[in-house]
C-alpha cells in the first residue's frame, strides 16, 4: 500500500527572513537602558518635588 504524501524538506528554510541578530540585540539593550534611565531620572525629579 503506497501513499503519495508530499512532505516539505525542513532543510529548505523557505520562510526564513534575513535578520541582523546583533543589531536587534543592541537595539533592545540600548532601548531598555534608555527607558530605565528616563524612569530613574523621572523618579528622582518626582522625589525632589515631593520632598519640598
Q: How confident is the model at residue 1 (pLDDT cuts 50, 70, 90)?
A: low
Q: Is residue 10 part of a domain?
A: no
The pLDDT of residue 6 is 80
| pLDDT top residue among 24 and 1 | 24
Question: Domain range spanning residue 48?
Answer: 22-52
Question: Does any domain span residue 16?
Answer: no
pLDDT of residue 28: 96
H helix intervals, the chain:
21-51
**Global pTM?**
0.61
Q: pLDDT tens digits for 3-37? A: 777 877 777 776 667 778 899 999 999 999 999 99
Show the cell assigned to 31.
Answer: 532601548
Query: In this structure, is residue 1 part of a structural domain?
Result: no
> Looking at the 3D structure of the chain, how many domains does it have?
1
Amino acid at each position: 500500500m503506497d501513499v503519495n504524501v508530499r512532505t516539505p524538506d525542513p532543510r529548505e528554510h523557505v520562510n526564513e527572513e534575513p535578520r541582523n541578530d546583533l543589531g536587534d540585540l543592541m537595539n533592545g539593550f540600548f532601548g531598555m537602558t534608555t527607558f530605565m534611565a528616563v524612569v530613574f531620572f523621572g523618579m528622582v525629579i518626582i522625589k525632589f518635588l515631593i520632598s519640598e
